[in-house]
């Protein structure tokens, strides 16, 4: 599966990642798989050896922050040709060997038998398990306890070779469980297998290491040595933070969907609104020839934002298009709105423009290829703060908005004043840039209630306040888009 433009890492780029366990990883991009979200980084060797390197395989689902330090723009060298059939055959052989070892362990084969099987398999590949017996080249059978006398088969070079290997492995070591050298004792309670406790300190005898590697302890990084000088490291991630991170990513994507689809709903509502006005021989806000260009630009920007193609550029274009169309409608003078309705309409348009600027800054991206533009995000936050100031102003000076709140929220005037204070505090947070994420979280909780209880009261706005039906539906859609922008800032602010 090919990665969409802007959703991949260039080979050779310098990338810095922070995992959900606050572990900082930095290195050069070696490979990136978009479908599995796996990123391979080349880092300096942890052993300090020259001409060595560590290869880190990172699952981006468990990465809380990623930053491109140095983006490589030149074309990477062509990939070397691979013999896929040979690699598949090698992988199949390795899998069969591992399954054979796993079968031996599950069948209860002793360590001596497993060691003998591995030793024979190094020189004779035609070696397999049959129950607890080792079968070599379909000619030699070695039964437990895997001594020389247990090797049965047709006399020949194969049987003699297997007996030699078995005889070498059966040679008694310097120490064993049954044969302890003088002056050497074993404390099995405190010293595990492979460690000796000298009964007399002066008579310490070195013990050869076990052919079986010790089981590694769990750590934050598991390492596998693929070849000399190259190790694969897998950072282990905790399940809890990973699930929380995935939930935040889903919420962030949900907010992006709501915000990027807002222009589609706006264009649809405008078409329905202007169709109703045409029946009454009333003009639209923008003259017809320019209206088509305006809607075409809105749909174009929304489409590219929805598909994630150059999202930053088209989010900036959507903000510019919305600003130009609003200004053209304002100076056109074809339709006259009440002052309270102008505040409701234009404040929400300002907030939507702010949401597009936040999106253009790089917020809401799962894998950010370029650094986030703090200036664009700050400007978008200021626009959202202006919207909140207008809402707070309407709660004090707009009779229509006050009645809408007083008739549909419990608590009456007290609740209204508390909402006024809350909107003011949230506006200060967005304007100042402090506690933006917390303010966005509060706004994301508050807006759905406002949309359902206040904006959703179509009977009040349409029948009592004479707001055109599709104009009110457009205002509801804009509030949904503002909610999407708040969700983006709440999860990625």
Q: How far is the C-alpha of 233 from the C-alpha of 231, rounded, in Å?
A: 6
> Do the beta carbons of residue 146 and residue 166 sit within 8 Å?
yes
131: left (phi over 0), alpha (psi -120 to 50) or beta: left
Q: How far is the C-alpha of 381 from the C-alpha of 388, rounded, in Å?
A: 11
Which domains occur in the chain, in start order? 14-72+222-237 (2.30.30), 84-171 (no CATH), 241-492 (no CATH)
Backbone torsions φ then ψ of 353, nearest 5 degrees: -60, -40
Does pTM surpass 0.85?
no
Q: How far is the C-alpha of 8 from the C-alpha of 382, rounded, in Å?
A: 31
SS3 243: helix
The secondary structure element, H or E, covering residue 127 is strand 127-130
> Do the beta carbons of residue 378 and residue 357 sit within 8 Å?
no
Could you count the other beta carbons within 10 Å of the beta carbon of residue 37?
A: 15
> Do the beta carbons of residue 488 and residue 363 sit within 8 Å?
yes
Q: How far is the C-alpha of 250 from the C-alpha of 181, rounded, in Å?
A: 65
SS3 136: strand
Q: How far is the C-alpha of 405 from the C-alpha of 396, rounded, in Å?
A: 11
**Dihedral, 49, 25, 374, 420 alpha carbons, nearest 10:** -160
pLDDT at 282: 81
- From the list 330, 270, 263, 331, the residue with the least C-alpha distance to 468 is 270
pLDDT at 235: 47
pLDDT at 175: 43
> Do the beta carbons of residue 319 and residue 360 sit within 8 Å?
yes
SS3 398: coil
Provide the token pair at 220: 């934050």
Q: How many CA atoms lie within 13 A of 184 on its CB side?
A: 17
- Residue reference for tokens 């006398």: 149
pLDDT at 194: 39
Instruction: Tell me the torsion sign for CA atoms 389, 390, 391, 396.
Output: positive
pLDDT at 43: 87
Helices (H) and strands (E) in the chain, counts: 14, 13
SS3 156: coil
Q: How many CA atoms lie within 13 A of 333 on its CB side?
A: 1
Q: How far is the C-alpha of 489 from the C-alpha of 260, rounded, in Å?
A: 14
> In which residue ranges of the chain is pLDDT below 70?
1-7, 76-77, 79, 104, 106-107, 170-242, 367-369, 493
Q: How far is the C-alpha of 199 from the C-alpha of 202, rounded, in Å?
A: 9
Q: What is the DSSP letter of 460?
A: I
pLDDT at 171: 58
pLDDT at 364: 83
pLDDT at 392: 94
- From the list 190, 225, 199, 194, the residue with the least C-alpha distance to 212 is 194
pLDDT at 15: 87
pLDDT at 428: 96
Start-to-end C-alpha separation, the chain: 30
> How are the residues of the chain apportioned to helix, strand and coil, as percentages rounded to the nearest 5?
55, 15, 30
- Residue reference for tokens 């306040």: 465
**Which residues have CB under 8 Å from 84's CB, separation 6+?**
none
pLDDT at 170: 64
Instruction: Give the rounded distance of the alpha carbon of 209 from its chain centre.
Output: 43
**Which residues have CB under 8 Å from 39's CB, separation 6+?**
9, 15, 17, 29, 31, 32, 57, 58, 60
> Do the beta carbons of residue 233 and residue 221 sit within 8 Å?
yes
């Amino acid at each position: 599966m090919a990665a969409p433009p802007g959703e991949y890492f260039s080979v050779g780029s310098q990338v810095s990642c922070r995992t959900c366990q606050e572990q900082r990883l930095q290195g050069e991009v070696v490979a990136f798989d978009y479908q599995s979200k796996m990123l391979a980084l080349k880092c300096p060797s942890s052993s300090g050896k020259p001409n060595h390197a560590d290869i880190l395989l990172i699952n981006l689902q468990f990465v809380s922050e990623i930053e491109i330090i140095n983006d490589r723009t030149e074309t990477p060298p062509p990939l070397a040709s691979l013999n896929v059939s040979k690699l598949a055959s090698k992988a199949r052989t390795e899998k069969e060997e591992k399954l054979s070892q796993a079968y031996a362990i599950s069948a209860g084969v002793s360590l001596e038998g497993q060691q003998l099987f591995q030793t024979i398999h190094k020189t004779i590949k035609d070696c397999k398990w049959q129950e607890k017996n080792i079968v070599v080249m379909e000619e030699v059978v070695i039964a437990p306890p895997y001594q020389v006398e247990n090797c049965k088969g047709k006399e020949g070079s194969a049987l003699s070779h297997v007996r030699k290997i078995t005889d070498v492995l059966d040679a008694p070591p310097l120490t064993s469980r049954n044969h302890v050298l003088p002056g050497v004792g074993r404390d099995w309670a405190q010293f595990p297998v492979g460690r000796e406790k000298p009964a007399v300190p002066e008579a310490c005898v070195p013990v050869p290491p076990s052919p079986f590697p010790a089981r590694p302890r769990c750590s934050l990084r598991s390492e596998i040595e693929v070849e000399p000088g190259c190790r694969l490291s897998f950072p282990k991630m905790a399940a809890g933070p990973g699930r929380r991170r995935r939930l935040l990513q889903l919420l962030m994507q949900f907010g992006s969907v709501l915000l990027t689809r807002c222009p589609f709903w706006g264009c649809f509502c405008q078409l329905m609104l202007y169709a109703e006005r045409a029946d009454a021989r009333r003009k639209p806000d923008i003259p017809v020839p320019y209206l088509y260009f305006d809607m075409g630009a809105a749909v174009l920007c929304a489409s590219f934002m929805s598909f994630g193609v150059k999202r930053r550029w088209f989010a900036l274009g959507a903000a510019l298009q919305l600003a130009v169309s609003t200004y053209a409608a304002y100076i056109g003078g074809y339709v006259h709105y009440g002052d309270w309705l102008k505040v409701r309409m234009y404040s929400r348009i300002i907030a939507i423009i702010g949401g597009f600027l936040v999106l253009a800054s790089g917020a809401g991206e799962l894998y950010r290829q370029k650094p986030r533009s703090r200036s664009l995000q700050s400007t978008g936050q200021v626009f959202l703060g202006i919207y909140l100031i207008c809402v707070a102003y309407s709660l004090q000076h707009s009779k229509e908005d006050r009645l809408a709140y007083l008739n549909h929220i419990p608590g009456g005037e007290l609740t209204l004043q508390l909402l006024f204070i809350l909107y003011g505090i949230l506006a200060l947070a967005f304007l100042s840039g402090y506690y933006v994420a917390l303010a966005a979280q509060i706004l994301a909780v508050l807006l759905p209630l406002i949309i359902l209880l206040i904006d959703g009261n179509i009977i009040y706005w349409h029948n009592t306040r004479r707001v055109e039906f599709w104009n009110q539906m457009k205002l509801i859609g804009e509030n949904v888009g503002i909610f999407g922008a708040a969700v983006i800032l709440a999860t990625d602010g």
